[in-house]
Structure 1
Amino acid sequence: MNAVTWEQRERIIALLADASADPEVRAVVVTATGKGFCAGADLRARAGAPPPGERIAGDVARTIRRGAQRLIAAVLDCEKPVVAAVNGTAAGIGAHLALACDLVLAADTAKFIEVFARRGLVPDGGGAYLLPRLIGPHRAKELMFFGDAVPAADAERLGLVNRVVPAADLPETARAWAERLAQGPTRALTLTKQLVNASLESDRTTAFAAEAAAQEINMTTRDANEGVASFLERRAPQYEGR
C-alpha cells in the first residue's frame, strides 16, 4: 500500500528539487503502483524509536519538521506544476501528499482517509494547513475528527480533487494533463502557482504587489514574448518553458 519509508520520502524530495532545477522538466506526475496510492507513514520504521518516557522534548517536533513537513513543502515549493494521480487509498500523509499537488486526479476506486484521530494522533504533514484551505474549517474538522474514508466521488464533490475518472483511464488522463502542462509557458505557470499559494495568506495589498512583480518577471521570458507574438500573428504559440 506504499507506506512512506525514509528512503522513499528522501527520493521524492530529491526528484522534486531536480524537477525544479531542470528546464527540460515541464510537469510532474505523482502516482503509485499497486492497489494503494499511499497508506501513510511506515509505522514499522517507527518501531525502533525511543518510547515516550525516553524521548527528549523536541524530538517529535524535529522529526516531523525534517520528515513529513519537508515532503509536503517539496510539493508545494516545486517550480513545476505537479499533478497527483491517485490510484487507490490515500491515507494520512498519503492524503496530504496528494492534496498538496496543484491538480488532483482520482480513480473512481480511490478514497481519502484522515487516519490520525483513529490512532490518537494530531494530523501532521501539513494536514491542518491544507484541508481548511481546500474545503473550509468545518468540513476539515469533520474529516479529521472522525477519520472516515471519503470515496472519490465525495472527494470531488467536496473540492478535494479536480476530477474522478474510471480507474482504467487514470494513467492516460494523468499523462494527457501532464502533456498539456508541459506544452505551456512553464515559468508563467510557476509564478501563477506561487501567487495562488501565497494569496491564501496575503492581504489584498500584498497580493496585488506580488501579482505585479510576478508579471514583471514573467515578461522577461521568451514564452511571454512568444505568447504575445502568436496572438498578434493569429497562430498557436510554441512555448519552450524558458
Structure 2
Amino acid sequence: SMDRSVVAVIFTGAGDKAFCTGGNTKEYAEYYSGNPTEYALYMDLFNAMVDSIYMCKKPVICRVNGMRVAGGQEIGMACDISLASDLAVFGQAGPRHGSAPVGGSTDYIFWYLSMEQAMWNCISCEVWSAYKMERLGLISKAVPVLKKDGRFIRNPHVITDRYLEDGAIVYGEMVSGEEKARADALVKECTVDFSGLDAEVDKVVWSLTNLFPHCLMMSIDGIRAKKKFFWDQSKLPNRHWLAANMMSEAYLGFNAFSTKKLTGKDRIDFIEYRRLLSQGHPFDQELIDAVMPPRKE
C-alpha cells in the first residue's frame, strides 16, 4: 500500500460464485474443533488480515463478485467501499452453525444499518440480496451481471420492479413460488458478464484518482477510525472466545455441517440441545450423541 503509483486496492474473489463464504467448515470440523490453541493462532492470521485493510494507505474497494457471507461479510465491511454483482447475497451464518459474527460484524455493522437491522442480520442467519443491501446502505451499488440476448438484466430472483406491495417495502426481497420458478428458468438462459461491475469499479477509481491523495486518505482514515476503534476493542477477547468455543458449540455446529452428506441435515437438534442444557447436562459425549444428526440409513 506504499506504492505511490497505486490509486486504490481492489479486493475481490475468484470466479463468479463467491467473494468469500467464511472459513472452511470441513477444516474447522476435522482440525480446529476440539483444538482451541490452533484455532486461536488461525484467528491471529484473520485479525492481521483485517488490520492490514484498516492500515492500508490506499482506499480499499470490495468488488463483491458473489456470496459475501460469514467471515466474508466481515472482511467486506472492513473495506472502504463495496460494489457488488447483483447475484451476490450477504449475511451471517455463525449462530446456526456454532459460532458468532464477532470477526468484525458486531463491531461495525451498526455503522451501516440501524441497530435493529444490524441485530437481526447478525442473529437471524438470513441472506439478503445485493439490492436490499444497497437500499439499506451496506453497499454503494448493486450492478447487473446477467446477460440475455446481449442485454444486461437485473437478477430475476430479487424484486426490483416495484418498491411497495400492500404497503410493505419489497424492493430487494427474494421472490418465491411461481416467480422463483420463472427466475430459475430465466437464469438458465443467461450468461454472467462482470464487465458492468468492472466499469463501475473503474468509475470509482477514476473519481479517486482526481482527488488530492493525502486529503483523500485523511478523509478515509477519519471514517475508518470509527470502525477500527470498536474492532481494536474487541478483536482479542473475541479471538479468545472463538478459540474456547471450539470445545463446545463450534464442535457441534461445524461437525454437523461437515457431515451433512452422511446425515441429510446440516445442523444439530437445537430443541434437544436446549432441553439438555436446561437440565444442567454436562457437555460430554452423551450430549454430543444426543444432538448430532444420525447417519442416513
On whether the aligned pair clears a TM of 0.5, the verdict is yes
Aligned residue in 2 for 1:136: 114
What SS does structure 1 have at the residue aligned with 2:83?
Answer: strand
Aligned residue in 1 for 2:21: 39
Correspondence 1:60-209 to 2 at 5 A:
60-64=39-43, 66-167=44-145, 168=194, 169-199=196-226
What SS does structure 2 have at the residue aligned with 1:104?
Answer: strand
Q: What 5-or-longer segments of structure 2 have no aligned partner?
A: 146-193, 230-297
CA distance in 2, matches of 1:132, 1:165: 24
Q: Alpha-carbon deviations, 1:114-145, whole Å to 9, x = none? A: 11112121113211112112213321110111
Question: Structure 1 200/119 Cα, relative in aligned 2: closer, same or farther at 3 Å?
Answer: closer
Residue 10 of structure 2 is aligned to residue 29 of structure 1: yes
What SS does structure 2 have at the residue aligned with 1:94?
Answer: helix
Q: Alpha-carbon deviations, 1:34-66, whole Å to 9, x = none? A: 1211111123343553542x645xx544532x1
Q: Alpha-carbon deviations, 1:81-102, whole Å to 9, x = none? A: 1111111111111111211111
CA distance in 1, matches of 2:90, 2:226: 26
CA distance in 1, matches of 2:20, 2:48: 17
Q: Which has the higher helix share?
A: 1
TM-score by length of 1: 0.67
Question: Structure 1 142/191 Cα, relative in aligned 2: closer, same or farther at 3 Å?
Answer: same
Structure 2 letter corresponding to 1:63:
Y
What SS does structure 1 have at the residue aligned with 2:112?
Answer: helix
Tell me the matched-pair count. Answer: 179
CA distance in 2, matches of 1:201, 1:46: 27
Asked if the contact 1:39–1:90 (Cα under 8 Å) also holds between the matched residues in 2, the reply is yes
Give the structure with higher Rg (CA): 2
Question: Structure 1 98/55 Cα, relative in aligned 2: closer, same or farther at 3 Å?
Answer: closer
Structure 1 letter corresponding to 2:204:
W
Question: Structure 1 67/136 Cα, relative in aligned 2: closer, same or farther at 3 Å?
Answer: farther
Asked if the contact 2:61–2:83 (Cα under 8 Å) also holds between the matched residues in 1, the reply is yes
Asked if the contact 2:75–2:104 (Cα under 8 Å) also holds between the matched residues in 1, the reply is no
CA distance in 2, matches of 1:195, 1:50: 37
TM-score by length of 2: 0.55
Question: Structure 1 200/120 Cα, relative in aligned 2: closer, same or farther at 3 Å?
Answer: closer
CA distance in 2, matches of 1:89, 1:50: 24
CA distance in 2, matches of 1:145, 1:95: 14
What SS does structure 2 have at the residue aligned with 1:153?
Answer: helix
Question: Structure 1 181/125 Cα, relative in aligned 2: closer, same or farther at 3 Å?
Answer: same
CA distance in 1, matches of 2:141, 2:93: 23
Q: What 5-or-longer segments of structure 1 have no aligned partner?
A: 1-18, 203-242
What is the RMSD of the two structures over their aligned residues, measured on CA atoms? 2.2
